[in-house]
Amino acid sequence: MKIQAIRGVKDILPGEIEAVQRLEQAARSIFESFGFSEIRIPIFEVTELFARGIGATTDIVEKEMYTFEDRDGKKITLRPEGTASVVRSYIEHQLYLKAPVAKLYYLGPMFRHERPQAGRFRQFYQIGIEALGTDRPAMDVEVLAMLSAVLNQIGVTEVQLEINSLGDSVCRPEYRKTLKAYFKTYLSQLCENCRRRYETNPMRILDCKNEGCRAVTAKAPSPLDHLCADCLVHFQQVKDGLNQLKIPFVVNEHLVRGLDYYMRTAFEVTTTKLGAQNAIAAGGRYDGLVKELGGPPTPGIGFAMGVERIALLMERMETPKPDIFFALLGEEAVRRMLPVTIQLRGEGVRVEMDYSGGGLKKQMGLSDKLGARYTLIIGENELKAGKAMLRNMADKSQTELSLSELAQTLPERLRKT
């Protein structure tokens, strides 16, 4: 029987993982310089958290969640995103008492039962942040600056930042009514999904990719024309801040996040290089979410980056190569060199060796194949003479080294080039 990975779930192999690691490192160091700390949230939670935290009428909750009963009959869901868990944790551990603004980041796998295709998986990775405790536009700007810094750092620059404002509890209900009145005339032209959204979540129709729906939404009333004074000022300050920092953006009046507790700023980073799956990061303000999940009313903003999609935009990086390959002939050479290899590794030197007991030619071939910078050759003759031969694999030059001093001389030699 041949067992394979589940459809839509993929391995990230050496050769692919390096870009992911680089993205993770860049994100960690930039987030931390902005004062964000990592939070490790569980991979599964009670289903209700997501049903309420993401919103019962979203695609995720309606169609995409991996939900099952565990052995105690408890309803469990594999996390489809991170925000709900971070907010749950924030409330559970009363993080609001520890600092006026909680700045948290997370990274790890998410699970959604979607139709697998290029750039769309059933297990995929996200790196995300949440800033809880302030509704000031300066935080929106800071969060966007941070996202843009990460993308710049890893060389993903041909992207577009789209922003919008969705209004708040003051102006949104009125806008929603206006929007529904508009769509009412065109109901028959909308896709089935959007006809359902018309009842549950009409703003999401604005975001539909279906051509029929697009024709209708093209002339739909814009949320920006219905913002209350406070929301207008907030949005203006976000735009001013981005301009001041010279972070390019476009306003996309059709960008929505769909939920009642998503408010004001919504944004997405897109690329033209990945075909249909063009969003590489998305986020927004969710000033109503903490309260919805049972915490004190607390504004928040966050985003999540799609790791696989971003990695596809990064230059492919090589798997690191050994600094030195130990070509050891005979058991005695292996025995004598074992402590040296361990010591070098402890000093951060990448050491490889042959594990098959092959002859010199075979071992040199392996060293070459692995791309080692140096090969250290120790056969019976060298052992007897208390010497080792260090071969520079690039220029083929060889140097004789004293066996007893290897542990001292090798690190120095390896550093020289």
Q: Which residues bind ligand ATP (CB under 6 A)?
A: 81, 112, 114, 119-121, 124, 126, 277, 279-282, 304, 306, 308-309
Q: Which is nearer to ligand ATP, 281 or 377 (CB)?
A: 281
Nearer to ligand ATP, 258 or 322 (CB): 258
303-342 in b/e form (b: 16+ CB < 10 A) is: bbbbbbbbbbbbeeeeeeebbbbbbbbeeebbebbeebbe
Q: Which is nearer to ligand ATP, 112 or 239 (CB)?
A: 112
Q: How far is the CB of 162 from ligand ATP (least distance, A)?
A: 11
Residue closer to ligand ATP by CB (options 241, 306) is: 306
Output the smallest distance, CB 269 to ligand ATP, in A: 8
Q: How far is the CB of 234 from ligand ATP (least distance, A)?
A: 21
Instruction: Point out the residue whose Cβ comes nearest to ligand ATP.
Output: 306
Q: Which C-beta is closer to ligand ATP: that of 140 or that of 382?
A: 140
CA-CA-CA-CA torsion for 324, 330, 333, 339, nearest 10 degrees? 70
Q: Give the shortest CB-291-to-ligand ATP separation in angstroms.
A: 21
Q: How far is the CB of 34 from ligand ATP (least distance, A)?
A: 19
CB closer to ligand ATP, 308 vs 354: 308
Please calculate the CA angle 292-295-298 and round it to the nearest 5 degrees.
85
Compare residues 119 and 212 and give the one whose CB is closer to ligand ATP. 119
Question: At closest approach, how far in Å is the CB of 114 from ligand ATP?
Answer: 5
Report in angstroms how near the CB of residue 303 gets to ligand ATP at its nearest. 8
CB of 31 or CB of 326, closer to ligand ATP: 31
For residue 54, the minimal CB distance to ligand ATP (Å) is: 9
